[in-house]
Chains A and B, each alone.
Chain A
Amino acid sequence: MADKVLDAKGLSCPLPILKSKKALQNVAPGGTLEVLATDPGSVADFAAFCRMTGHELLESESADGIFRFLIRRHP
């Protein structure tokens, strides 16, 4: 169970990333954020976002048109 969940379904680029960045500020270092999105571009974008920021992308999966990302905030 993630520490915080962000519903970014229905939002287009770059809002899922921008809202995740804000949401991560309210997650304790080492804590996790789960993001739900429908933007197919978010798969590549969340991987790039995490590589550059040092947050850890623990899970990236999709089912029924919903993309789910689990991010661990860098310590």
Chain B
Amino acid sequence: MSDAHIDNSPVNPAKPAKSMSIIVTKGTLDWAYPPFILATTAAAMGMNVSMFFTFYGLPLLLKDLDLKLSPLGNPAMKMPLAGMHMGMPNMASMIPGVDAAASTMMKNLMNKKGIASIQELRELALDAEVRLIACQMTMDLFEYGLDDMIQGPELGGAATYIEVASGCDINLFV
């Protein structure tokens, strides 16, 4: 079967590269995905991409990633199980070990479905020269140093981000 019509006219390859910035504020396993997927894809599509890591997004730059998620307070999280979709009552999520188990379950599911790990996407972002900016205020707040982080991020603050964003075609907050 062949698709009848393929629209393959380029937007305008002669124009200067477009650019995108993303503010990354969340560091759970699930919320780490949207910014890294969009950043790597935009870079692959020829865009200049900057990511600003602040608050709970900052730990996504740590050398050792041990990402977890919590079903607590998240009624939309329903995992496929035995042909059904199972949510988890808040009460169950409070039991020690349940969040860790849910995180492991999610990682296994992602692996089975051919979804890249965050480590892998982060490597690809570095390869693609995505500009990584670590929020200095958050570094101070949570007492992190650049030694704790992977090679690559630079330090910056609100003014740094605003300058970047003012020149971008797309600015996202995740």
Binding site for B on A (CB under 8 A): 10-15, 17-18, 20-21, 39, 43, 47-54, 56-63, 74
Docked-complex contact B46 and A52, CB < 8 angstroms: yes
Docked-complex contact A14 and B44, CB < 8 angstroms: yes
Q: B66-113: which residues lie under 8 A (CB-CB) from chain A? A: 113
Most buried by B among A15, A43, A61: A15
Q: State in angstroms the CA–CA spacing of A51 and B40 once bound together.
A: 17
Q: How would residues 15 to 50 of chain B score, 1 for a CB under 8 Å from any chain A CB and 0 otherwise?
A: 000000000000000000000010011001110000
Which residues of B sit under 8 angstroms from A50, Cβ to Cβ? 8, 10
| CB of B1 closer than 8 Å to a CB of A | yes
Q: Tell me what chain A mostly uses at the interface: helix, strand, loop, or mixed.
A: mixed
| CB of B145 closer than 8 Å to a CB of A | no
Which residues of A sit under 8 angstroms from B13, Cβ to Cβ? 53-54, 74
Q: State in angstroms the CA–CA spacing of A67 and B41 once bound together.
A: 19
Contact of A53 among B3, B9, B46, B113 (CB under 8 A): B46
Q: Tell me what chain B mostly uses at the interface: helix, strand, loop, or mixed.
A: loop
Docked-complex contact A60 and B1, CB < 8 angstroms: no
Which residues of A sit under 8 angstroms from B8, Cβ to Cβ? 47, 50-51, 56-58
Docked-complex contact B40 and A10, CB < 8 angstroms: no
Docked-complex contact B114 and A54, CB < 8 angstroms: no
A-B contact pairs, 21 of them (CB 8 A): A10-B114, A12-B116, A15-B114, A15-B115, A15-B116, A18-B40, A18-B41, A18-B44, A21-B45, A39-B114, A47-B8, A49-B44, A51-B7, A52-B11, A53-B46, A56-B8, A59-B2, A59-B6, A61-B1, A62-B1, A74-B13
Q: State in angstroms the CA–CA spacing of A74 and B45 once bound together.
A: 13
Docked-complex contact B124 and A52, CB < 8 angstroms: no
Given contacts A12-B116, A60-B2, 20 further A-B contacts (CB under 8 A): A14-B41, A15-B114, A15-B116, A17-B44, A17-B45, A18-B40, A20-B44, A43-B3, A47-B7, A49-B45, A51-B8, A51-B10, A52-B46, A57-B8, A58-B8, A59-B2, A61-B1, A61-B2, A63-B1, A74-B13
Which residues of A sit under 8 angstroms from B40, Cβ to Cβ? 14, 18
Residue of A nearest to B116 (CB): A15
Docked-complex contact B41 and A57, CB < 8 angstroms: no
Q: How far is the CB of A9 from chain B (nearest CB, A)?
A: 9
